[in-house]
Each structure stands twice: as structure tokens, then as C-alpha cells.
Amino acid sequence: MRHAFAIAKRELRSYFVSPIAYMAMTMFVFLSGAFFSNMVVYYVRQAMLADRQIEQIARSDLQLDVPSVILGEFFKNEAFILLLVLPLLTMGLITDERRKGTLELLLTSPIRSAELVAGKFLGAFSMFVIMLLPTLPFYYVLHQGGAWEPGIVAAGYLGLLLVGAAQIGIGLFVSSLCENVLVSAFGTYGILVALSFVDTSASLARSIWADFIQWLSFFYHYVNFSRGVVALGDISYFATYLVFALFLTQRSIEAIRFKRA
Amino acid sequence: MIAVQHLTKRFGRQTAVDDLTFEVRVGEVLGFLGPNGAGKTTTMRMITGYLPATSGKVSIDGFDLIDHPLDVKRRIGYLQENPPLYPELTVRRYLEFVAEIKDVPARRRAAQVDRAIDRVNLGEVRDKRIAKLSKGFKQRVGLAQAIVHEPPVLILDEPTSSLDPKQRAEVRDLIAELRGDHTVVLSTHILPEVSQIADRVFILNRGQVMAVDTPARLAERLRGREMVIVEVQMPQSAADSHQSSVVSRQSSVDSRQSSVVSRQSSVDSQQVALAREAFEAIPGVSHVVVDPSSGPNLHVRIESAPGTDVRGDVAALVAARGWRLLGLKNESLSLEEIFLELTKDEP
Ligand SMILES: Nc1ncnc2c1ncn2[C@@H]1O[C@H](COP(=O)(O)OP(=O)(O)O)[C@@H](O)[C@H]1O
Ligand SMILES: [Mg+2]
């Protein structure tokens, strides 16, 4: 796996001189910040109204848990934003190597295709983690306001990392199928949007299929994390997606050799 | 060092490389010469392990490509037709990356990168982004990535094809300097180039080796000649079944000289000898090849000095002998055809 780190390192280096990676990062941080501040303002106002109402009806046993509402909403939003941004990071992963002819360099080097896939994934995943870093100060704000729920924050981030990893895996696979980055990006958008929202169609129908479709959906599993609930089932759900996507990517890279150069 | 046996590649119904067998000795420089589509790139891609062969074997330094792909790949430096570059990286970072994936141990990496940079004279641009370099420099970076792990075998696919004449000469000199340390296979579609660098040349066309020779002898053989192809029918000779040992030895020499892969002689060998002698006696004729193809007819290729036309003499001779002339045409040798294609874009 030594080679995987070399490839991941190279990928990161290239991200840091690529305008698209900066665009993606800026977009992510800006949208996250905007949603976050809007939400804080909105919920604080709502909470104050609610408090007053509670006072009026004089029931002290009702308590609004404002921080967890804010955090829950925030993490849900983050996952939507990722959906917009991650395909920009993954669209070129294999597509660019093919276009530049460097895939031939990689495939004629003494590395295994599994190492290549792992390296590509690690590169994009590290970039994603770096992209998440600027959101950390948001929690400092919450902490200062006394609305600090470390459990929910940790679960939320775990959920984000998992959903991000699965999305990157799928983007990587799509990229290995495409010779054009735009096709790669939009293909990934298509698949991710479908996978994220199949559960909305499931709620319309009532059957075993509906349950299955719901189970397929990213958000169905992700929502638990944003509520601070970490379940093994949800973790293995995302891990399964990732492993499956990486496996398909490896197969697809092997197949590229048989295709027209 | 490199052993290739019956290497074949088919794309669908098309055979891009057809049953290629050869060996390259340690330190030798082998040139593939052939027009576009001859199968040079496909052959190299199979040797480097990028393309799986349809059939056949490749081994490098005793390691079989199928059984020990990593050992083979470690021993090869490969420069593709378009150098595989990451334009966003600096020359040094790029070479460090290549050294790393080619298994150069960490403690030697910096030294080998420096050495590769020195050998291809990239010192002045080592910290520049590759995107900013000229084509000639990019090609040198391509060469540097091929040698950075100090592989015993270098595979260079048209290393000068996209360059201007001056850059081309530079790259050629570089390769000439590298030859001592490496076994080299390089391809080109420019004859003078291959003759300057290679010890041995394969002429490839449509996936087949048309000729193997040293560059000097090839150039000699290809230097302008006229060729006439005659098809004659000779009366059945009495001594059908007797094989003249002299003749068969001669014809084997012939087929080696012309390196035309010929089928087993099925035509009466006395007729062959008779025809050869007769045509060789025509003034101006330098070489006669009798193609012992099937059927009762003899196909004879008659080469003569540049500027001569022996068709008249040939026709007269055939008539005088009482043979039947079935065909007579002026045709360039197939090698020459190739050669023309090969050389037409040399400035
Ligand atoms: N990936 C491929 N799929 C289908 N045909 C191919 C592929 N690669 C090469 N060919 C065909 O094989 C033949 C040999 O090509 P190539 O090896 O590139 O020739 P050269 O390098 O000598 O110009 C050509 O006719 C080409 O069209
Ligand atoms: Mg080629």
C-alpha cells in the first residue's frame, strides 16, 4: 500500500494547484457558513418565541432542545452541499489520468490496481477532510453560545465522513467509466441524487420494495447520525457502498486496457 | 534481456500484431520502423504490460510478464508516444512521484531524481511546472521519467516524432548517450533516425516483420531500385521430383537476404533454377527472387539498377524460351513501398 500513499500524495498536490478544487472548497465553505448562520439566527428567534409561549401557558416541563435542532438541521444541510461539491473533486480522478496518458504510466509501473484505486480514493478523501476543516469554527460559535452538544457533533461528523466516503467511491467509479470530465461530473450527480432521494419515492408506495428502496437511500441512513444516533447498521451501510464502488472501479480500470486507447 | 515469443494482438477482427518473435540482447538497441498503424505502439504496450496480448509470451530478464508482472514492470522504463506528464507538477516533484511508484527506495530517491535530471539536461527547469515547458523540454522530462528508476530496459515509442528538427537531434543524442546502460527498444517512422541509433532494425507493416537487418544494410538495400514482377508458365519439366540441393540452398539464402517469409517450395526446383539463371543473365538485373507460390505458375521478382527498365528484355527472353508470359508489371518492392511511407514526412 506504499504506492497508494504516493498516489494519494500526488493527487493532493494536484488538487492544490487546481482551480476546480479551490472552487469546490470555496463553494462548500461559503454555503456551509451561510446555512449555518441563517439557521442559528432563525432557530434562536424561534426558540425565543417558543419560550415565551411556554411561559404563557405556564408549563415548565416543556423544554426546547435548540442546540440539537440546529445541529441536526445543519448536518442535514451539509450532506446536501457535499452532494453538490464532491463530484467536482471526483470527476477527474481517473478521467484525467486517461486523458493525459498518465494512466498508462501508472499501469506500467510495478503497482497493483488495488493500490491505484486505494490511492485515488485516499487522495480525494483527504481533500474532502481538508475541506471539512473550515467548518470546525462553527462549533466554537455554538460553544460560546452555550449550545454545545459534543455527542451530536461527533456523530454528525462521523456521518458526514461516511456519506462523503461513499459518494467519493461512487464518483471514482463513474470517473473510471468516462473519458470526459463533464460527463463524469454529471453522471455522478445523477447517481448521487438518485441514491440520496430514492426514499422520497419510497414513502409514496407501501410494500417490501418500498422498505428496500428506503434502505438504499443515503439520507435514510445519514439522518440518524445528524440526530446523534450512531448505529452499526448505518456504518456498515456506507462501508458496503464504498467497498463495492472501489471494487467496481478496480474492475473498470482493468477493462480500460482492453478498450480503445 | 527481452524475449518475445509469438506475440499476437487482435482488436476484434483486425490483427494489429501478428505472431512476433524476437530477442534483444543486453545492451542492444533495437529499432522498430514502420508506418502509422504498423503495430509498433501495440507491440510496446504488450511488452510493458499495459495491453494484454491475445496470445504469445513476453519475458524480461528471465521474468515472465504474466507470472511476474511487477518484476517485469520494475525493470522497464517506458516513454509513450505522448509523454505521460502531470503538467501541474514541477519537474522535480513529478520525477519524485515516478521514482516512488517505480519502487526506488526512499533513501536513494533524491539522488536518482537528480541524476535523471542531469542526464537529460533539465537542470535549469527542475523547479518549473511542467505545463510551462516547451515541447522539447517536455520530451526530455518524458525521457527522465523513463530512466529515473535506472531500469535495464528502455522502451521508447517514437521519442522524436512530435519535435522540430533541432529538438529531434537533441533527443537523438540523448538516446545515444543512454544506450550504454540500457537495452533499448525504440520505434520510429523515420528511417534515417533509426539508422543513426539502432544496432538492428525491424521493419514492421500491418503487424508483421517485413525485414530484419542492420541499419546500414537496410539503407543499402532500400536505396533506389527498380523491380519488375513477372508471372510465367513453363512447360512441365521431366525431372519433376528431383530436388537439386544447390538450388534449394540458393533459394534459402535468397529468402534470408530478402527476408520475405516464403512458403515451403512446392514448385519444381529445376524450373526455379532455370528461371533464375535466365533472368539473372539479363543486363542490368541485380537480383532475382523466385516466389514458389502455389499453382503451375512462377512468380518472379526481378530487381535492377535505378533508372533501368528491363521489362522489354524480360518479355523477349520469356518469348525466346518458349514460356508463356502471364503477367509483367513494374512494381516497387514492398519494402520500398514501406520505405516511401516511412520517409515521406521527414523534412
Ligand atoms: N485499442 C485499440 N483498439 C482497436 N484497434 C487498435 C487499438 N490500438 C491500436 N489499434 C489498431 O492496431 C493497429 C496498430 O496500431 P499501432 O500499434 O498504434 O500502430 P503504430 O504505433 O505502428 O502506428 C492500427 O490499425 C490501429 O488502428
Ligand atoms: Mg504508434
Q: A50 to each of A46, A148, B176, how far by Cα in Å?
A: 6, 20, 84
> Which chain B residues are closer than 8 Å to A255 by Cβ?
none
Please report the pLDDT score of residue B252 as a whole number: 45
Closest residue of chain A to B10, computed from CA coordinates: A258
Looking at the DSSP bridge assignments, the partners of residue B15 are B10
Query: How is chain B split into domains, by residue range?
Result: 2-222, 226-330
In the predicted model, is pLDDT for residue B154 greater than 90? yes
pTM of the model: 0.79
CATH code for the part of the protein at B2-222: 3.40.50.300
In the predicted model, is pLDDT for residue B244 greater than 70? no
Query: Which of the pair, B194 or B257, is modelled with greater confidence?
Result: B194
A130 Cα to chain B: minimum distance (Å): 20
Q: Residue B203: what residue type? A: I
Contact A6 B101 (CB under 8 A): yes
| Position B331 confidence tier, pLDDT thresholds 50, 70, 90 | low
Please report the pLDDT score of residue B255 as a whole number: 43
CATH code for the part of the protein at B226-330: 3.30.70.100
Q: Which three cell numbers stand for residue B36?
A: 502509422
Highest mean pLDDT among A206-210, B131-135, B161-165: B131-135
Q: CB within 8 A of B136, min separation 6: which ones?
A: B163, B164, B166, B167, B170, B171
Q: Out of A17-21, B16-20, B114-118, B263-267, pick the least confident.
A: B263-267
Please report the pLDDT score of residue B346 as a whole number: 44
Q: How many CB atoms lie within 10 A of CB A4?
A: 21
Burial of residue B295 (number of CB atoms within 10 Å: 0-12, 13-18, 19+) = exposed
Choose among A17, A102, A108: nearest Cβ to B73. Answer: A108
Burial of residue B123 (number of CB atoms within 10 Å: 0-12, 13-18, 19+) = exposed
CA gap B234, B336 in Å, rounded: 29
Query: Which of the pair, B269 or B293, is modelled with greater confidence?
Result: B269
Q: Are B18 and B12 in contact (CB under 8 A)?
A: no
β pairing state of B55-60 and B63-64: antiparallel
Contact A6 B100 (CB under 8 A): yes
Q: What angle do CA B252, B255, B260 make, to 5 degrees?
A: 150
β pairing state of B297-304 and B226-233: antiparallel
Q: Out of A11-20, A33-42, A52-61, B305-314, pick the least confident.
A: A52-61
Choose among B45, B51, B102: nearest Cβ to A110. Answer: B102
Q: What is the DSSP letter of A173?
A: H
Please report the pLDDT score of residue B80 as a whole number: 95
* A 240-259 → B contacts, CB under 8 A: 257-258
H helix or E strand, kind and range, residue B6: strand B2-11
Please report the pLDDT score of residue B326 as a whole number: 87
